[in-house]
Amino acid sequence: MAFFSDSRDFDIRGGTFNVVHGDQVTAHYVISPGPGKSLKDEKYLRLLADRTAVNAAYNAGQRYPPPKCHPGTRKEVFDTLKGWVEDGERNTRTYWLYGSAGVGKSAIAQKLSEEYASTCLGAAFFFSRNDPTRDKLDTFVATIAYQLCTLEALRDVLCPLVMEALRLNPNILHTSLENQFVKLVLEPYAQLSPDGEKAVPNLIVIDGLDECIDLESQRRLLHIIRDAITFSTPFPLIFLICSRPEPQISDELKDPGFSPYLQRLPISDTTIRLSGKLTTSDHDIERYLVDEFARLRKKLRALRNEDESWPGCDTIWDLVWRASGQFIFAVTVIKYIDTIDDLPQDRLNTILNIESGGIQESPYPELDLLYRQILLNCRKWNQVYPILRLLVTPKLENLYSPDWIHWRSPSIITRLFNLRDGEVEILLARLHSVIAISEDVNVDIHIPHASFTEFLLDRIRSREFHTPTYSRMEYCDLIAMMLLRTLSPFTFRYPPYCSSRQSFSAAFKEWRQNINAISEKDITRFSGEQWSEYCITISTPSAQLLAELGRFDPYPVAAMLVSTQALSGPSEWLSRWAQSMAWMKSLNESNLHKPLQRLESFFSDFCIAFCTKGIARSSVVPKIFTLEGSLACIGDEDVPRRLTHFVALHYEQWWAAQSSSRSYPLLFSPTTNPATSLPRDWIVTHVTKANGEILKRAYDIYSSLDRKGRKLFCEDVAYDSLETVGQCIVKADAMLEYKELIYKRRRDFSPLGDDLPVRPPSNATPVSTPASPIKNEVDSVAHSPTIYGDPARSTGDLSVHTRISRRRRVKISFGTVLRLLKR
Does residue 21 register a pLDDT over 60?
A: no
How confident is the model over 495-502, as a mean pLDDT? 76
Distance between CA atoms of residues 634 and 597, nearest Å:
18
pLDDT of amino acid 276: 56
pLDDT of amino acid 759: 44
Q: pLDDT band at 33, cuts 50/70/90?
A: very low
Q: pLDDT band at 194, cuts 50/70/90?
A: low
Nearest 10 degrees: Cα torsion 401, 406, 411, 417:
60
User: What is the β-pairing status of strands 23-28 and 238-243?
Assistant: unpaired
Helix (H) or strand (E) holding 26: strand 23-28
Distance between CA atoms of residues 519 and 823, nearest Å:
57
Spell out the alpha helix ranges (H) of 566-688: 570-587, 593-604, 621-632, 639-650, 652-658
How confident is the model over 674-693, as a mean pLDDT? 84
Q: pLDDT band at 786, cuts 50/70/90?
A: very low
Q: pLDDT band at 599, cuts 50/70/90?
A: very high
Does residue 773 register a pLDDT over 60?
A: no
Helix (H) or strand (E) holding 822: helix 814-822
Out of 272-276, 366-370, 384-388, 487-491, pick the least confident: 272-276
Q: pLDDT band at 234, cuts 50/70/90?
A: low
How confident is the model over 162-175, as a mean pLDDT? 93
How confident is the model over 759-775, as a mean pLDDT? 36
pLDDT of amino acid 789: 30
How confident is the model over 644-660, as a mean pLDDT? 63
Is-contact 244 100, C-beta < 8 A? Answer: yes
Out of 361-365, 627-631, 749-753, pick the least confident: 749-753
pLDDT of amino acid 199: 60
What does pLDDT average to over the chain?
Answer: 81
How confident is the model over 529-536, as a mean pLDDT? 94
Q: pLDDT band at 360, cuts 50/70/90?
A: low
The per-residue pLDDT for range 406-415, each reduced to its tens digit, is: 999 999 999 9
How confident is the model over 545-572, as a mean pLDDT? 86
pLDDT of amino acid 806: 36
The per-residue pLDDT for range 42-92, each reduced to its tens digit, is: 888 998 999 999 999 999 988 888 998 989 888 989 999 999 999 877 889
pLDDT of amino acid 321: 85
Out of 112-121, 394-403, 732-741, pick the least confident: 394-403
Does residue 333 register a pLDDT over 60?
A: yes
Q: Which among 349, 398, 688, 433 is positioned nearest to 537, based on CA atoms?
A: 398
What is the SS3 assignment for 281?
A: helix
pLDDT of amino acid 500: 63
* DSSP bridge pairs for 812: 800
Out of 234-238, 646-650, 778-782, pick the least confident: 778-782
779 vs 238, which has greater pLDDT?
238
Does residue 15 register a pLDDT over 60?
A: no
Question: What are the DSSP calls for 696-732, one per residue?
Answer: HHHHHHHHHS-HHHHHHHHHHHHTT--HHHHTTSS-H
pLDDT of amino acid 651: 64
Q: Helix 639-650 to helix 689-704 angle, to the nearest 10 degrees?
A: 70
Helix (H) or strand (E) holding 804: strand 799-805
User: What is the β-pairing status of strands 121-126 and 605-611?
Assistant: unpaired
Question: What are the DSSP calls for 458-517, one per residue?
Answer: -HHHHGGG--PPPPHHHHHHHHHHHHHHHHHHHHHT-GGG--TTS-HHHHHHHHHHHHHT
Does residue 23 register a pLDDT over 70?
A: no
Distance between CA atoms of residues 444 and 395, nearest Å:
12
Is-contact 470 390, C-beta < 8 A? Answer: yes
User: What is the β-pairing status of strands 121-126 and 94-98?
Assistant: unpaired
Q: pLDDT band at 559, cuts 50/70/90?
A: very high
The per-residue pLDDT for range 285-312, each reduced to its tens digit, is: 999 999 999 999 999 999 988 988 899 9
Out of 143-157, 247-261, 783-797, pick the least confident: 783-797
For a pLDDT cut of 70, what percent of the chain falls above it? 80
The per-residue pLDDT for range 428-439, each reduced to its tens digit, is: 999 998 998 988
How confident is the model over 564-589, as a mean pLDDT? 85
Q: What contacts 663, CB < 8 A, 6 or more positions away? A: 563, 610, 611, 615, 619, 620, 623
For a pLDDT cut of 90, what percent of the chain falls above it? 45
Q: pLDDT band at 2, cuts 50/70/90?
A: very low
How confident is the model over 141-162, as a mean pLDDT? 93
Is-contact 479 416, C-beta < 8 A? Answer: yes
What is the SS3 assignment for 52?
A: coil
Classify the phi-psi angles of 276: left when phi > 0, otherwise alpha if psi is within -120 to 50, otherwise beta. left
pLDDT of amino acid 216: 94
Q: What contacts 395, CB < 8 A, 6 or more positions away? A: 132, 401, 407
Neighbour-count burial of 406, counting CB atoms closer than 10 A to its CB (0-12 exposed, 13-18 middle, 19+ buried)? middle
576 vs 21, which has greater pLDDT?
576
Does residue 330 register a pLDDT over 50?
A: yes
How confident is the model over 559-582, as a mean pLDDT? 84
Q: pLDDT band at 153, cuts 50/70/90?
A: confident
CA atoms within 13 A on the CB side of 125: 28
Out of 139-143, 557-561, 797-801, pick the least confident: 797-801
